[in-house]
């Protein structure tokens, strides 16, 4: 049984699925008006790992994540740069998928775009108006939060205390500062869509509720996102579904922040300015390993120091993969663990790792077990017990693959002689013996390898 911390109940609970064996999950995606930032990298990695693990455990996962392609920021950038909103959104969506591919985040089963669902949003807003839960003002249609009895469920606060803490806004036509825009009336020069209550464009909270229910159906299983989305975004999505009489998500899960110390991100501090920037400077797998070594609900620090630490650990894993000549796994394929023929030592490891991951995705504990198993396999090989060492090594490889982390560089089978040269070269480089490192590189090139230096050590590949 898979258990996950549920943000509504504030405790780890069994995932109670709508249809046994099938898991429907929705993750709030990006608004595409700039390069993806480090926080985007974290939430996509966290929920990619979750999806991969649920699939590995045999669940048939339907994973939906949206693209918000109309929004104030997109409009502002289009105007500033003399481009259309569509051009801005298309450009940054391309950057988004390029970064996702590089960090090995599997593509969602469905990627709804907000602009393709406007008719359904208009329909929902009409329903809310007819039910008297929404009202018009001079700048658009607003949702009356006082009409939802348990408003504040996700925030963990009752309506009264939320209202006391709310920012007072300029719009005095709103009945409460917590009321939010479902529809923004058209302004000159801005994109708009027709609606019986006046042309305009949808509010962000209305997009996700329509797209999640539209693709996954009433009472879908799991709604995910960063902690910062819990309130007001998720609260407001839920409020609309409740007010429209539609059962919404059965479970809510949220991931922790990305910290950059108490300093602001800046180039002069040597920090990474965006996910794209990080991926240009490091092995993309390092961010996944950093995410895996932290619990998904905890904050993580992404800095040159923490990434370098992850790269060192990655170097150890790649060295291990070379030693046992392990096949490269993962990539974009989602695998099912029950189809593996687990040899005995690996089966025991799988069961122990599964106990950690089934219990609120305890990836730090699972990764620690995998590193212990790596040491055991090395020790067994050192004492000449090649077959059980290899069986365990294959298990370690399969489990890293299940979490989306491909060991070893590239997939070409590395023969033991070449693997030994790589190890010797890394040692020479570690001792700053550049002449010996160059000699070993020439030897590898002579054997037909393309040799590359990375922060995690020598990488070799064939063409």
Binding site for Zn ion (CB under 5 A): 28, 208
User: Which residues are bridge partners to 13 per DSSP?
Assistant: 4
Which CB, 212 or 397, lies closer to Zn ion? 212
Tell the smallest beta-carbon distance from residue 226 to Zn ion (Å): 10
Which CB, 66 or 303, lies closer to Zn ion? 66
Burial (CB < 10 A; 0-12, 13-18, 19+), residue 134, is buried
Q: Mapping DSSP to helix (H, G, I), strand (E, B) and coil, where does residue 225 land?
A: strand
Closest of 257, 371, 278, 359 to residue 316, by C-alpha: 371
Tell the smallest beta-carbon distance from residue 443 to Zn ion (Å): 54
Give Cα separations from 312 to 15, 282, 285, 319, 354 (angstroms). 36, 12, 11, 11, 25
Tell the smallest beta-carbon distance from residue 61 to Zn ion (Å): 19
Which CB, 41 or 395, lies closer to Zn ion? 41
Tell the smallest beta-carbon distance from residue 228 to Zn ion (Å): 11
Give Cα separations from 31 to 68, 122, 217, 237 (angstroms). 5, 20, 23, 16
User: Which residues are bridge partners to 185 per DSSP?
Assistant: 200
Tell the smallest beta-carbon distance from residue 66 to Zn ion (Å): 7
Which CB, 224 or 398, lies closer to Zn ion? 224
Q: Decide: 166 and 178 in contact? Cβ < 8 Å.
A: yes
Which CB, 224 or 367, lies closer to Zn ion? 224
How many Å separate Cα 10 from the centre of its chain? 22
Q: What distance in Å separates the CA atoms of residue 274 and residue 181, rounded to the nearest whole number?
A: 30
Which CB, 26 or 400, lies closer to Zn ion? 26
Give residue for tokens 């120091």.
305
* DSSP class of 136: E
Tell the smallest beta-carbon distance from residue 345 to Zn ion (Å): 44
* DSSP class of 319: H
Q: What distance in Å separates the CA atoms of residue 383 and residue 396, rounded to the nearest whole number?
A: 19
Tell the smallest beta-carbon distance from residue 241 to Zn ion (Å): 12
Question: What is the C-alpha end-to-end distance of the chain, expressed in Å?
Answer: 45
Which CB, 234 or 323, lies closer to Zn ion? 234
Task: Give the H or E element holding residue 47.
Answer: helix 38-56
Which CB, 225 or 404, lies closer to Zn ion? 225
Query: SS3 helix, strand, coil % of the chain, rounded to 5?
Result: 50, 15, 35
Tell the smallest beta-carbon distance from residue 47 to Zn ion (Å): 13
């Amino acid at each position: 049984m898979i258990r996950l911390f549920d943000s509504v109940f504030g405790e780890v609970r069994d995932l109670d699925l709508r249809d046994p064996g099938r898991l429907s999950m929705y993750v709030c995606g990006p608004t595409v008006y700039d390069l993806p930032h480090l926080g985007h990298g974290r939430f996509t990695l966290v929920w990619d790992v979750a999806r991969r693990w649920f699939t590995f455990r045999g669940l048939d996962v339907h994973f939906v994540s949206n693209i918000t392609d109309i929004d104030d920021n997109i409009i502002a950038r289009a105007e500033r740069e003399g481009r259309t909103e569509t051009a801005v959104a298309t450009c940054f969506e391309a950057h988004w998928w390029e970064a996702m591919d590089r960090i090995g985040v599997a593509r969602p089963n469905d990627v709804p775009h907000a602009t393709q669902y406007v008719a359904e949003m208009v329909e929902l807003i009409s329903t809310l108006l007819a039910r008297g839960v929404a009202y018009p003002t001079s700048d658009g249609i607003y949702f009356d939060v006082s009409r939802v009895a348990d408003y504040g469920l996700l925030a963990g606060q009752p309506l009264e205390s939320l209202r006391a803490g709310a920012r007072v806004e300029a719009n005095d036509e709103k009945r409460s500062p917590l009321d939010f825009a479902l529809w923004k009336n058209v302004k000159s020069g801005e994109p708009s869509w027709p609606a019986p209550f006046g042309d305009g464009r949808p509010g962000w909270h209305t997009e996700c509720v329509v797209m999640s229910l539209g693709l996954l159906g009433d009472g879908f299983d799991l709604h995910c996102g960063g902690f910062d989305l819990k309130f007001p975004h998720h609260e407001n999505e839920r409020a609309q579904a409740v007010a429209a009489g539609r059962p919404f998500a059965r479970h809510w899960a949220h991931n922790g922040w990305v910290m950059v110390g108490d300093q602001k991100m800046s180039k002069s501090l040597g920090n990474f300015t965006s996910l794209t920037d990080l991926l240009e400077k490091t092995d993309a797998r390092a961010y996944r390993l950093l995410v895996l070594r932290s619990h998904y609900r905890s904050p993580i620090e992404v800095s040159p120091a923490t990434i370098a630490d992850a790269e060192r650990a990655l170097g150890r894993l790649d060295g291990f993969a070379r030693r046992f000549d392990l096949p490269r796994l993962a990539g974009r394929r989602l695998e099912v663990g029950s189809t593996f023929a687990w040899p005995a030592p690996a089966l025991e490891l799988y069961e122990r790792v599964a106990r950690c991951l089934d219990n609120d995705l305890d990836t730090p504990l699972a990764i620690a077990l995998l590193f212990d198993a790596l040491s055991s396999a090395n020790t067994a090989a050192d004492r000449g017990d090649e077959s059980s060492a290899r069986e365990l090594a294959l298990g370690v490889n399969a489990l890293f693959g299940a979490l989306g982390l491909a060991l070893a560089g590239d997939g070409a089978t590395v023969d033991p002689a070449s693997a030994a040269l790589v190890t010797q070269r890394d040692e020479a480089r570690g001792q700053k013996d550049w002449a010996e490192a160059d000699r070993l590189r020439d030897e590898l090139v002579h054997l037909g390898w393309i040799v590359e230096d990375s922060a995690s050590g020598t990488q070799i590949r064939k063409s």
